[in-house]
Chains A and B, each alone.
Chain A
């Protein structure tokens, strides 16, 4: 079973626009991560936010975490065609098992 649930399931935007993806989870976590996957293959770790953090930035990425609502959001600013990929949130249960959501498929039109 998967813990994280992303929405929207799919998102299509124009290059230069911002993309926001949301993730909800069910149980207490130590941290939450966001990953990107191109062409249905290898995942790349983007950013991690710990349970005691509320916001984190990395380049054009901004992640927020609301533990009271058990939700997180990933914002990609000034999107590029190369950002086209699937994005997954994932949570660690005590640093061992990593549980992924079903993902948001982002398509950025040039």
Chain B
């Protein structure tokens, strides 16, 4: 079946501009995660959704970053007033559900969106 897809695959923007990054999770997956990965580093947690609500947004670096998932499926990560330091690969993942604190549901990752802020 179809995996997690992300669009665009590459985005080049100028400092100060607004960008939106889209994630289409695997159908039926209720949990959705956003990560940011800088060159040579591991993915850094940003936010995750259970259904339509942001269950944990503690990884968002500041209030220029916002994410929505209005219908519990597709999610959009929004970055306002972009800065050069926002340049990174933004990864999205989805999983079936979070069944409890001691359970694990495998996350399936998309290919990422490479954001370059000039």
Contact = CB atoms under 8 A, between A and B. Distances in A.
Given A96-B98, A103-B42, A45 B106 contact: yes
Contact of A2 (B41, B91, B104, B107): B41
Contact of B45 (A4, A48, A98): A98
Interface string A68-110: 0000000000000000000010101011111111110000000
B46 to A, nearest CB: 10
Interface size class of B (residues with CB under 8 A): 20 to 34
Interface residues of A, number: 26
Contacts, number: 68
Given A45-B107, A97-B56, A30 B101 contact: yes
Contacts of B103: 95
B102 A95 contact: yes
A88 B93 CA distance: 16
A45 B3 CA distance: 14
Given A102-B40, A102-B41, A96 B56 contact: yes
Interface in B40-54: 40-45, 48
Nearest to A50: B104
28 contacts: A2-B44, A4-B42, A30-B101, A30-B104, A40-B37, A41-B111, A42-B91, A42-B109, A42-B110, A43-B93, A43-B109, A88-B43, A92-B104, A95-B98, A95-B102, A96-B56, A96-B98, A97-B45, A97-B48, A98-B45, A98-B107, A99-B45, A100-B43, A101-B42, A102-B40, A102-B41, A102-B42, A103-B41
